[in-house]
Amino acid sequence: MKRGTKKTYKPAENRYQQMKYNRCGRSGILLPAVSLGLWHNFGDVDDFDTARAMIHRALDLGITHFDLANNYGPSPGSAESNFGKILKKDLKAYRDELIISTKAGYLMWPGPYGEWGSRKYLLASLDQSLKRMGLDYVDIFYSHRFDPNTPLEETMSALETAVKQGKAIYTGISNYKPEQTAQAAAILRKAGAPCLIHQPKYSMFERWVEGGLLDVLEQEGIGCIAFSPLAQGLLTDKYLKGIPKDSRAAKPWGFLKREQVTEAVLKKISALNNIAKQRGQSLAQMALAWVLKDKRITTVLVGASHVEQLEQNIACLNNLTFTCDELSRIENILKGT
Ligand SMILES: NC(=O)c1ccc[n+]([C@@H]2O[C@H](COP(=O)([O-])OP(=O)(O)OC[C@H]3O[C@@H](n4cnc5c(N)ncnc54)[C@H](OP(=O)(O)O)[C@@H]3O)[C@@H](O)[C@H]2O)c1
């Protein structure tokens, strides 16, 4: 049996003392500063016991938010099915302590109704997701990407319907640009299903949100859950001595490709790693703290392939502040100066 897996799971009594909870925009919801995503490592190509152990450990450490999407796997849908098994086996009694999200937007089934932003696709996909997870409702249902060929009113009406049918509690959008976000927020507010949260990619290596999105979110009172805050593992010390066999960059199905681990990237990682060491943190911890330093970020949405990574990452909360000198040294490294 894998470390952290218990035959009969009972969450740690002190789980809520370990975590910091941040308000999601101007809503009533508090989210853990670190959330767990199931994009990789929870599919049917992965080890189920390890996946189960990570969910257990996450909840023990106060992670109440688990993020999924229809297509997570591989195979697509298998992360939801596996999460459903874990929920049924171990977490049934704790459903009201969890915030579970799913999304629809990317390719899920063949034909014209299996991706993008039509009502037909979004609502059918949500029904499929609920079935796979064995849930009556999700806490957040997202439009996973903006669809340039579907009226935004139609896509948002599907989110509104999900809420009004009781199949989702809150609405969310992901990967929407600032202008699209403002329009979506206005439509959802008018419809009585206000947008709770936006899910963009944000890390030291990917900073597009700084060019207007975070300002829009603040104005609209929408929370921000930053995905891939470790740049899929690049912002850790794991690639400094080559590409480990069991890493995402080495796996054929992973979204991080070997070619992305370049000399130029390694040079930056190595310099950032030195600053992290001086701060008494691992690079992963510093990378997460760096994203969380902006008060408009509600939570960092990490992935993990082992229980130990989760434990290490959550310990970023022990040092979330930066000196001006540290910030400017980090900035210079990122700019390559
Ligand atoms: N909305 C969207 O379009 C979208 C897109 C992508 C992701 N997401 C969400 O964001 C979540 C997180 O994305 P992500 O998995 O790319 O996040 P990430 O946190 O940037 O990367 C996670 C990966 O980094 C490695 N890692 C984590 N902690 C480590 C540590 N302490 N030391 C060494 N390596 C460590 C692990 O990879 P190894 O396998 O190499 O160990 C892990 O799987 C997803 O699960 C999903 O929920 C959303």
pLDDT, tens digit, for every residue of 306-336? 999 999 999 999 999 999 999 999 999 999 8
Residue nearest atom 34 of ligand 1, based on CA coordinates: 233
The pLDDT of residue 5 is 60
The pLDDT of residue 7 is 72
Q: Is 248 in the pocket of ligand 1 (CB under 6 A)?
A: yes
Q: Which of these ranges, 2-16, 90-104, 211-225, has the smallest mean pLDDT? A: 2-16
The pLDDT of residue 89 is 95
The pLDDT of residue 45 is 95
Q: The tokens of 111 are what?
A: 């034909």
Q: Is 236 in the pocket of ligand 1 (CB under 6 A)?
A: yes
Predicted confidence (pLDDT) at residue 254 exceeds the cutoff of 90: no
* Average pLDDT for the chain: 96
Residue 6 pLDDT class (50, 70, 90 cuts): low
pLDDT digits (tens, 9 = 90+) for 188-204: 999 999 999 999 999 99
Residue nearest atom 47 of ligand 1, based on CA coordinates: 37
Q: Is 205 in the pocket of ligand 1 (CB under 6 A)?
A: no
pLDDT digits (tens, 9 = 90+) for 142-158: 999 999 999 999 999 99
The pLDDT of residue 2 is 57
**Atom of ligand 1 at shortest distance to CA of 251?**
39
Amino acid (one-letter) located at 337: T
Q: Is 302 in the pocket of ligand 1 (CB under 6 A)?
A: yes
277-281: average pLDDT: 97
CA distances from 197 to 44, 204, 226, 287, 305 (A): 29, 21, 10, 22, 26
Predicted confidence (pLDDT) at residue 4 exceeds the cutoff of 70: no
Contacts of 156 (CB under 8 A, 6+ apart): 143, 171, 184, 187, 188, 191
Instruction: Please state the pTM of the whole predicted model.
Output: 0.97
Q: Is 11 in the pocket of ligand 1 (CB under 6 A)?
A: no
**Atom of ligand 1 at shortest distance to CA of 227?**
10
The pLDDT of residue 252 is 87
Is 313 within 8 Å of 319 (Cβ atoms)? Answer: no
What is the Å distance from ligand 1's center to 190 Cα? 35
Is 67 within 8 Å of 36 (Cβ atoms)? Answer: yes
Q: Is 231 in the pocket of ligand 1 (CB under 6 A)?
A: yes
3-8: average pLDDT: 65
